Structure 1
Amino acid sequence: MGIEVLGIDLGNTVCSLAGLDATGAVVYRKRLQRHRLLDFLEGLEPCIVAMEACGGAHHIGRFCLQHGHEPRLMSPLYVRPYVKVHKNDDRDAEAIAEAATRPTMSFVAIKSEEQLDLQALHRARERLVTERTRLINQGRGFLMERGIRVGAGRTSSIKS
């Protein structure tokens, strides 16, 4: 096919693909069900595989590394200027491929499974701490309606 850069717009169920040749011309366009994407990449000649850094992109990036591709993950904010008129998934895939060819583009490092596990633990803990704070503040509000004043913080004392 002569694909040098493959841009993938990752969707929940369907992915849009756009392949560029060495001159930057679009030589391949296709929509693929997400569960068939890895099989497609496995059969593709090694090339640059560009995606926005979103859910599942790190998994696909690690798969690409194992199969000889060069994965490039980018922030969606950096891709947006490359989308031409009337945004849709197919044009997004083309914009992703084009953005990946820019020499000044900054890319996101592919995270290992261990890094993603640690990130998940930190996010879960942050959510628990936030929820605890909300409950404490709600309880403080209920008590304030009954004339009981509680100082700020988890360990403060009750004042009437």
Structure 2
Amino acid sequence: MADHLTHFNEQQRAKMVDISDKQETKREAVAVSRVEMKADTMTRIKEGKIGKGDVLAVAQVAGIMAAKKTSEWIPMCHPIPLTGVDIHFEIISNTELHIEAKAKTTGQTGVEMEALTAASAAALTVYDMCKAMDKGMIIGPTYLQMKTGGKSGDFHR
């Protein structure tokens, strides 16, 4: 773990980290998020009775699209060639939806931000599609579950 912040130059101004000397390795990251909602909202999601369409199908595509665009809205992220993005949903209670996003690449920098972005976008899409009936939904926590590859090694929560 670095003891200094890598995204600042000697003038303490933001910079994009230089990865040109880093080795290409296979990298994978898994991030999770959660959406808490009313039981009636969850029932309508399961039964496909949300007026905007299949909530989980749309959230899955939104998460994948977001992972591909991570570097466009997280300023210091490198644009990276993703080799895979997958999102899984699990209804863990009548009020809680668990979201798991996995991102993969072979490259010089990790995919943690892409996995976190995918999980976040999927959760936000669930909120967007259901907000007409449940504005009180709660998103989170959202966090990195694991990552592999790269100089800093593996991380498992």
In which range does the TM-score fall when normalised by the shorter chain?
under 0.3
Q: TM-score with structure 2 length normalisation?
A: 0.23
Q: TM-score with structure 1 length normalisation?
A: 0.23
Larger Rg: 1
Comparing both structures, which one devotes a greater share of its residues to helix?
A: 1
Higher RCO structure (Cα 8 Å, ≥6 apart)? 2
Comparing both structures, which one devotes a greater share of its residues to strand?
A: 2
